[in-house]
Chain A
């Protein structure tokens, strides 16, 4: 059986807690979540989002990522084929692993967010050396 998920996706909150986007619609980015020895690494696909337009919040074990993407074409554009909509990306996760919130950092390039969530010292695997007398 697969390992217990460290990061669980929580359902988007009702209107109250959620910032309203332009047209009230937002998209759930595809993510990879990797566990490494020192950190959890979250990769999120957010094509069309500009580097300065991403908000990341971590509060009470809840991680929220929100990338704002403005429409690129006029609303009256008459699409011959439309396979995706353009709008904000939003997703929340519940993080059960102990994370050192002060050390969370992120990079963004080519439409992909790389979010590093370093584990607190206590949960990092530690190698204890046995001294030889």
Chain B
């Protein structure tokens, strides 16, 4: 009996204390949370026209007057727009608007061309339709197909036929901020406008702005 008891294996405690491990994990997590940035910042693609004078002159004349809107981005967060080609002898062609949904975006959406169409509204509607189609059937719209369709829409080739597209010229004064410029570019993205250009203020523009006392 005594012999049997001696040979009995001692039951080992198999529980391992995990507390130090948890401590270490906590430390590591804290370190990673503080020293890293989780979200990658967004970017916006911007292609500027070449500084080559000949090219830009030709492109500038390509658009029809009624399909053109010139946006003047000015200091103190002010924004003005001219429908069509600016009339340099008439300072009243400059119309003041505001940033955001009820301001410049509405101006662009409601812009009517000479043949009575509203190209921005048409194109935005087409884009929403495309987005819905993509949402309903994501498999049928991989990025390549979606981008191709979007480019087509931006060119004015809708299902219902070809519509004219808008050309937006953005001119920023020296007093505008970078934020204003990005906001203006943002409106182009929101309104699905394919052709827009950031142009320099020329002496005539400067004179026009000075007549209205705009910085």
The answer to whether A binds B is no
Residues of B at the A interface (CB closer than 8 Å) are none
Residues of A at the B interface (CB closer than 8 Å) are none
